[in-house]
Structures are given as C-alpha cells and as structure tokens.
Amino acid sequence: DTERGVELRIADVGPGIPEAARDAVFDRFVQLTGGASPTRTGRGLGLSFCKLAVLAHGGRIWIEDAMPGAVFCMHIPTEVDT
C-alpha cells in the first residue's frame, strides 16, 4: 500500500471475531454472543464510534485475525505538502 498515513493496530487475545461478523461489529448496537463475559455492560457502540471518527478523517477501519484474538486496525491518511 503506497497511501501515506498513520496506521494503528491493537491486538487482543480474546475469542476473536468471526470473519462473517467483521463488518457488522462496526454497526451501532451490534454485540457478538458467546465467549463474552457475562458481566459485560457494553451497548454495542464503541466500535461504531471508532468507525465514525476514522471515516470523518478519510480513513478506513477493519479487523484481522490474531489467532488467538483479533487485531483492530485503522488507517488515517495524512496530507503531504507538494
């Protein structure tokens, strides 16, 4: 990828995100079941807020496998003076 910018990658060692659900988890109020803590108090908004912020800056956000876990990735382009 030759696009200039900043890439941030955050890895965890949790149960991971199934490939079929990787786009959906960025939608509002989406939460995955199974493997999650029974005491979790989230509302399914965290990743949707991340997506909104990244898109507002012209970037992109996605999830990759970490085996175990997941890698949450974002790329924010930077402007280059010419």
CA-based R_g, the chain, Å = 14
**Percent of the chain scoring above 90 in pLDDT:** 48
Q: Where are the beta strands (DSSP E) in the chain?
A: 5-11, 60-65, 70-77
CA distances from 24 to 4, 31, 44, 75 (A): 27, 9, 11, 19
The answer to whether the peptide bond before residue 68 is cis (omega within 30 degrees of 0) is: yes
CB neighbour list of residue 56: distance below 8 Å, 6 or more residues apart: none
Residue 29: what pLDDT? Answer: 87
> Mean pLDDT of all residues in the chain?
85
Q: Which amino acid is at 17?
A: I
Calculate mean pLDDT across residues 10-33.
Answer: 88
Residue 79: what pLDDT? Answer: 75
